[in-house]
Amino acid sequence: MASSEPVGSPRAGLLDPSRLPHAPNFRDLGGLPAEAGRQLRHGVLFRSGALSTLTAAEARYLRDELGVRTVLDLRTADEGAQSPSRELAAAGAAVHPLPLDRETTYAYEAWQGCASAGEFDVTDGYLGYLRNSGDTLAHGLRALSQPGALPAVVHCTLGKDRTGVFTALLLRCLGVDVDAVARDYARSQPAVPAVLASLAPDSDHHAAFRRLPAWATSAHPETVARLLARVEEDYGGVLGWAASVGVADATLQQLRGALLRPGQASTQDDRTPAE
């Protein structure tokens, strides 16, 4: 049954993970600290692993009770075709396919070949997204800045790598400090086994994910900290990176206005009404 709260109402958006058993890495980014004592608002930005196995009831919970309007799907075209997020689309959420991998197959295959040769750091794979998919990352930022886009969910399959890169860049653009970004990234680590167990068994891509070595399913905070350090070195900071891929200052200001709240106190009831 749909919530009586209108989408975007201040009392909506209280996440209850028990209502999403098929999305074990789903979480609210609200409460993360930003510059000048600001914080991310609760209930406006979520991150997750695969959402393709959601039941209709779970999808309605996301749409009707959490108010989710926008879904950024960072998976490859093949992943999306084999495991589409049908229930979310049917519930009325706008699903935006934004594949970060240029190839139809997932980057782990290339990463694994490098790792077997003793040449690979996961951070290098993440930097590849910045080099090769900057336009896609920029498109995602612009999509979230649009009036009426929030609340939103960003997801891939594990909810760790592609989602981790996108959210790390977004959070740094919002002024969230590196340590807080790294801690959030590491929160995916304990969820990975449950994510793997929840993936649809009839998908070739999901079967490949279950065969991943331990290094590929780890979420160490140092990994994303190294990524952000390289962004500082290579682009002069995340704002330099954003400018290099054509993200306008006005877009970043819109994101800050929509996603941040002033003050030190964190509450679970601080959403602003969606436009």
Range of the domain at 47: 17-261
Q: Is the pLDDT of residue 3 over 50?
A: no
30-to-2, 47, 174, 176, 260 alpha-carbon distances in Å: 23, 11, 12, 11, 9
Q: What is the pLDDT of residue 32?
A: 97
Structure tokens that stand for 188 in this block: 């995916």
Q: What is the pLDDT of residue 25?
A: 93
pLDDT band at 252 (very low <50, low <70, confident <90, very high): very high
Tell me, yes or no, whether 174 lies in a domain: yes
Tell me, yes or no, whether 255 lies in a domain: yes
70-to-105, 143, 146 alpha-carbon distances in Å: 25, 9, 10
Q: Is the pLDDT of residue 210 over 90?
A: no
Tell me, yes or no, whether 268 lies in a domain: no
Q: Kindly provide the b/e burial profile for residues 225-237, where b requires at least 16 CB atoms within 10 angstroms of the residue's own CB.
A: bbbbeebeeebee
Q: What is the distance of C-alpha 173 from the center of its chain?
A: 14
Tell me, yes or no, whether 2 lies in a domain: no
How far is Cα 71 from Cα 68, in angstroms, rounded to an integer? 8
Tell me, yes or no, whether 8 lies in a domain: no
- pTM across the whole model: 0.86
User: Measured at the alpha carbon of residue 91, what is the angle toward residues 86 and 95, in degrees to the nearest 5?
Assistant: 60
Q: What is the pLDDT of residues 54-105, one digit of tens each?
A: 999 999 999 999 999 999 999 988 888 888 888 999 999 999 999 998 664 4
Q: What is the pLDDT of residues 26-37, one digit of tens each?
A: 999 999 999 999
pLDDT band at 7 (very low <50, low <70, confident <90, very high): very low
Are 219 and 167 in contact by the 8 Å Cβ rule? The answer is no
Q: What is the pLDDT of residue 216?
A: 72
The string of DSSP letters for the chain reads ---SSPTT-TT-----GGG-TT-TT-EE-TT-B-GGG-EEPTTSEEEES--TT--HHHHHIIIIIS---EEEE-S-HHHHHHS--HHHHHTT-EEEE--S-SSSS-THHHHHHHHHTT---HHHHHHHHHHH-HHHHHHHHHHHHSTT--SEEEE-SSSSSHHHHHHHHHHHHTT--HHHHHHHHHTTGGGHHHHHHHS-TT-HHHHHHHT--HHHH---HHHHHHHHHHHHHHHSSHHHHHHHTT--HHHHHHHHHHHEE-SS---S--PPPP-
Q: Which amino acid is at 160?
A: K
Mean pLDDT for the chain overall: 84
Tell me, yes or no, whether 78 lies in a domain: yes
Q: Based on the structure, what is the number of domains in the chain?
A: 1
Average pLDDT over residues 105-134: 69
Tell me, yes or no, whether 7 lies in a domain: no
Tell me, yes or no, whether 235 lies in a domain: yes
How far is Cα 166 from Cα 162, in angstroms, rounded to an integer? 6
CATH no. for residue 92?
3.90.190.10
